[in-house]
Amino acid sequence: MIIGVLAIQGDVEEHEEAVKKAGYKAKKVKRVEDLEGIDALIIPGGESTAIGKLMKKYGLLEKIKNSDLPILGTCAGMVLLSKGTGINQILLELMDITVKRNAYGRQVDSFEKEIEFKDLGKVYGVFIRAPVVDKILSNDVEVIARDDDKIVGVKQGKYMALSFHPELSEDGYKVYKYFVENCVKNK
Ligand code: GLN
C-alpha cells in the first residue's frame, strides 16, 4: 500500500511519518508523474486558496479530479474536497459538502481536544484555523467525527475529509488505518 502525500504546501513530512506509523509506504506527490503507482492520496493542511491555484498550475487539479484515487483531505484538504466555501476559490469538488472556513473564528487560532470518531472512540484532534462541514448535500455523505454540534469528519465512498490534523497527534495514525480500511480497500 503506497499512500501519496500532496507536497505543494503544509506539513508533508508529518503526514509521511504518520502513514509509516500506520504501516504503509508514503510517497511525496509534487507533479502529475508522481501520481503513478500510488493507491491513495492525502491532501494536507495549509492555505486552501494557494494549494488550489498551485494544483491547477501544475496540472494536478484535473488529473486528481478525474482519477480513481481514494483521497483523505485534512483541514485545507477538507476545503479542497468540498463543493463550496462561500467564496470563489479553486476546489476539487469531489465531496457533496460545503464548508465554512476558519469556522472557530479568527481569535481561536488553534486548539486541541478529544473528539468522538466513529469506530475509534476518542481521538485527539489538533485544530488549526480549522474549517467545519457547513452543509451535507447528499445521503452518500456519512458523518464520522464530531466536536459537540460541529461536524469535523465526513466520509463519502472513497473520500474522507477531516477538520483537524491527525498527523500532529500521537494517536492520529489510527485515522489513517481507518481511511485505508474504509475508503481504500472498499472503494
Ligand atoms: N484555514 C485554512 C484554509 O481554509 C486551513 C487551515 C489549515 O489547513 N490548517 O485554507
Is 183 an annotated catalytic residue?
no
* Residues 72, 134: Cα–Cα separation, whole Å: 18
Q: Quick one: pLDDT at residue 174?
A: 96
pTM of model > 0.80? yes
- Rounded mean pLDDT of the chain? 96
Residues with beta carbon inside 6 Å of ligand 1?
Answer: 45-48, 75-76, 79, 101-102, 128-129, 131
pLDDT-based confidence at residue 105 (cuts at 50, 70, 90): confident
* Residues 93, 109: Cα–Cα separation, whole Å: 26
Domain locations in the chain as residue ranges: 2-184
Task: Exactly one of 14, 17, 142, 165 is catalytic; name it.
Answer: 165
> Please, which contacts does 107-110 make with residues 24 or more away whose CB atoms are closer than 8 Å?
none
Digit-coded pLDDT (tens) for 122-178:
999 999 999 999 999 999 999 999 999 999 999 999 999 999 999 999 999 999 999
Q: What is the 177 CA–ligand 1 centroid distance (Å)?
A: 23
Probe residue for ligand 1, chosen from 99, 101, 110 as the CB with the greatest number of ligand atoms within 8 Å: 101
Share of the chain above pLDDT 70, in %: 98
pLDDT-based confidence at residue 107 (cuts at 50, 70, 90): low
Q: What is the 111 CA–ligand 1 centroid distance (Å)?
A: 14
Digit-coded pLDDT (tens) for 32-66:
999 999 999 999 999 999 999 999 999 999 999 99
3-state DSSP assignment of residue 71: strand
Share of the chain above pLDDT 90, in %: 94
Digit-coded pLDDT (tens) for 162-180:
999 999 999 999 999 999 9
Is 167 an annotated catalytic residue?
yes
Q: What is the 125 CA–ligand 1 centroid distance (Å)?
A: 15
3-state DSSP assignment of residue 15: helix
Place of cell 498527523: 167
* Annotated binding-site residue numbers for L-glutamine: 46-48, 101, 128-129
Q: Quick one: pLDDT at residue 61?
A: 98
Q: Quick one: pLDDT at residue 101?
A: 96
Q: What is the 10 CA–ligand 1 centroid distance (Å)?
A: 10
CATH 3.40.50.880 fits 2-184, yes or no: yes
* Annotated binding-site residue numbers: 46-48, 101, 128-129
pLDDT (mean) for 16-44: 97
Q: Quick one: pLDDT at residue 48?
A: 97
The predicted complex's ipTM stands at: 0.93
Question: Which residues 6+ apart lie within 8 Å of 167 measured at CB?
Answer: 11, 14, 15, 17, 18, 44, 74
Cell numbers given for 24: 504503509
Digit-coded pLDDT (tens) for 71-88:
999 999 999 999 999 999
What residue's CA is closest to ligand 1, atom 8? 45
Q: What is the DSSP letter of 141?
A: -
Is 80 exceeded by the pLDDT of residue 70? yes
Find out whether 76 and 46 touch, Cβ atoms under 8 Å: yes
